[in-house]
Structures are given as structure tokens and as C-alpha cells.
Amino acid sequence: MLKLILCLPLLALACSKQQPPHSNFDEAPLIVIGVDGMTLPVLEPLIRAGKVPHLASLIEKGVGGKLFTDVPTYSPRLWTSIATGVLAEEHGVPNFSEEDEQGNMLRDGLPFTSNCRKVPAVWNIAADNRRDVDSVAWWVSWPAEEIDNGRIVASYAAQVQAAILWKPLLWDEGIPLLTYPNSLQNDINALLDEGKPKGPLVREYNKRFGAISPEWKVPFQRDILFRGTFHADRTHQKIFNNLQNTGRSADLRMLYLGLPDVAGHFFWRYREPEAFQYPVPTEMSDKIGGHIDKAYMQVDEWIGEVIANAPENARFLIISDHGMGPANVTKPSHPQSGAHEEGPPGIFILAGPGVKQQGLLGAGKRKVGYIYDIAPFMLDLLSLAPGSYMEGKTLRYLMTDEWIANHPPLAGVDYREGFREATAPLVPGEGLDEVFIDNLNQLGYVDDE
């Protein structure tokens, strides 16, 4: 297969259809934090125990519940649906990399990149309609798209981003088109340098999770990869905070974090050994069994920093693409002992001005909506019309009667008109597509066969 290596500046990506500015836009910044794999069965006990105070506070002030997902639960597929409001068949990112006609990943297929997307994402739509946008590390956002009124720090591979960002010999040249505008790269270089696997973040990781002896071969190997996710997430969170502190008030601010997903995949056997049909060493369970809870607590701490840096009138939307539970219970050799193939629901948290205060919804009433509802709802909160073609519907029923009265629903707009054509996947540098797939194999996301 011909591999397309990106070596020249990407052509500007065409704008989606504009609409007039809406007079009812209340200019409350919308901060959206996507937390991969976060699930209520883990989160709720932590809320009751007072171990995730920032998430608990957001739920108390607003609403918390379940966000229903779709299958297959491939991260690029779901996060792109969340950002576009449409099914994978329409947005064009059905998997991690190119597929055959049966929907199986091609052995020599290239990972999907942002230029493969067939429809505009919310950052395109918002920026084209006079809303300032910041987006950091969203799945399949590389190469960073050229958008008016926007700043993007792109991600090529999310959970394996660390293996690419800090690949030996790559740092001197860096990943092309990692940011838009290009000058933003200079502003984040110092934080990328701090995030290196042997940099100062090692101390932060060890303080939260501790170190694992190389004698424990399987968990030691998982720890190496988990550390990479921590370094990437923390670096992106610091970059996001820096963008908030620049004095530029973005209307839409998006951040992706993957730590709970990787923690769930790797450490569920140690958290819940009784669910597995093979013995899990007690000493390992004692030492590593709290890693999933600690990952949630770490994300809560990072979200607390985001809240502290946010304007007082900010609205917060915290979502996950799916939930998670024990898996591969008969396969001790499988790298993953937690998974989500059956599509358990993720979490949904909304708080801020105009949000109806309901707290954590009661058992049996926790379904808030679907992943496809997020894009039209985000647009609604920005006083922009939904996409007429979008699969989901806005969740404005979560807002107060006063907010609803002051923000009448808008007729749908076809933002696809005038959007640039989708093209074949690009590769940011020689061999980085192989790094992507090799690391997905190590993480257990892709079967070697």
C-alpha cells in the first residue's frame, strides 16, 4: 500500500456553512473534558468516599448520569461521533486504521487522521461561526486543522501518543502540524520537554501510583505503558491550562484525557481478582488493585486545576465514550483484563449557569442521552443551530426553564455544505504509523492476527 508521508504544509481546510451570530449567546465559556473509559460503577463509590471532590462538586451543582454509547467501542470511532454528532459510516473514521470490506483492520492500513473525516467537527462549526475555540488532544485531530478563531493542539493516536511525542530522535524535528496556528508549537515546547518519559513527571506518577518491581514481569510491562499515558495526559492538561491563562477567552474549550481507560484495561484483574477464573497473586492485588481508583482521583485533581483556572461563568461538560468492566476472565496472558466490547454506558456530568440542579440521577433514571447528542447540545449551549443531518438531539431539557425561555431552539443547518473533501490518511513522519500500530498491539487494543 502506498503510504502518504506528510512533508508539506497542509492546505487550508475549507469552512463549514456559516450562520449569523445569535443574539442570545450568553458568552458563558463551555469547557468540555472527554475522559476515556470513565464508568459510574467506579466513580460513584469514590464520590461517596469523598475521593473525587471536584467531580462530586460539579454533579452536586448540576447533574450527573449515564451517557449511552454505540458498538463497536473503538475510541477513534466514538470520539469522532461525539465531535460530529453522526454515525461512523457518515463521518468516515470507523476504526483505528483503514479497514477491509468486512470491517477488519487492514494489516498494512494507515491510521485515520483528521483529513479523513467527511463532516465538520464542533470545533470547525463553532470557529466558522464566530466562536473562539481551543482544543487539546482530541482523538483523530492530527494534522491540526486550520480554523479561524481557533487554537488546536492535535493528537495522532491518543492512548499511544506518548510513544510518538517522545519517540527517540523525533524530538529534534517534532511532529509537523501538531498545532494550529503553527506558532503555538513554540508555546508548548517547554511543556512537551517536561513531559518526556524520564522527565519531572516521573515524580508525580510515583507519588500517585508508586513503582513496580521488574520481577513482576506482566504488571511491570503494563506500568511502562501506563506511565506513558500519564505523561501524555498530564502534558496535555498543562497545555490546556496554559491556554486558559493566556487572557484569551475561548467560548469552546475541549480537552481529552485517556488515563482511566488504560487503567481499566490493564489493572482490572488486580482490582477485582474474584471476577477472574485464574489466580491473581494477592501481593499484586494489594499493591496494584487501587490503580483504577487512583487514576480517577488523578483525573479529578487535574479537573480541579482546570476549574480553578476557568472563568466564574464557565459551564462544564464531562463525558466518557463508554464504561468498562472485567474482561478476558479466562485468559491470564491477555494484556487487558478490563474492556467494553458490549458498550456499557459512560458518564455524563454538566454544571454551570443555566443548568438545572439535579445531582446524581437516581437508580433507574440515570440515562441522560447518547453520544450522538453531545455535538448538537454543545452547539446549543453556544447558541448555534444543530446540524440538520446530525443523528442526535440537543439535551436542552437539562437546562432551567429560564435558560430555555431565553434560548429558543434554532432550525437545523447543514454544515456539511462547503466542507472540504475527505482524503486518504496521512503519516506525520517516516515509520510513525508502525509505531502507532505496534503500541496498540502492546496495549491490547489490536490483535496481532
C-alpha distance across the termini of the chain, in Å: 19
Confidence of residue 17 (pLDDT cuts 50, 70, 90): low
CB atoms under 10 Å from CB of 275, counted, come to 15
Which of 152-156, 167-171, 289-293, 430-434 bottoms out in mean pLDDT, i.e. has the lowest?
167-171
Please write the tens of the pLDDT for every residue from 141-153: 999 999 998 999 9
Predicted pLDDT at 21: 46
- Mean local confidence (pLDDT), 373-386: 98
Which is the CATH superfamily of the domain at 31-443?
Alkaline Phosphatase, subunit A (3.40.720.10)
27: closest CA among 245, 251, 244, 248? 251
Confidence of residue 363 (pLDDT cuts 50, 70, 90): confident
Q: Where are the domains of the chain?
A: 31-443
Please write the tens of the pLDDT for every residue from 201-215: 999 999 999 999 999
Please write the tens of the pLDDT for every residue from 34-63: 999 999 999 999 999 999 999 999 999 999
Confidence of residue 298 (pLDDT cuts 50, 70, 90): very high
Higher pLDDT, 171 or 72: 72
Q: Where are the alpha helices (DSSP H) in 99-216?
A: 122-128, 161-165, 184-194, 201-209
Predicted pLDDT at 160: 86
Confidence of residue 228 (pLDDT cuts 50, 70, 90): very high
The three-state secondary structure class of 104 is coil
Which DSSP string do the residues of 212-269 spell out, in sequence order?
--TTSHHHHHHHHHHHHHHHHHHHHHHHHHHHHTTS---SEEEEEE-HHHHHHHHHHH
Which of 87-91, 316-320, 340-344, 360-364 bottoms out in mean pLDDT, i.e. has the lowest?
360-364
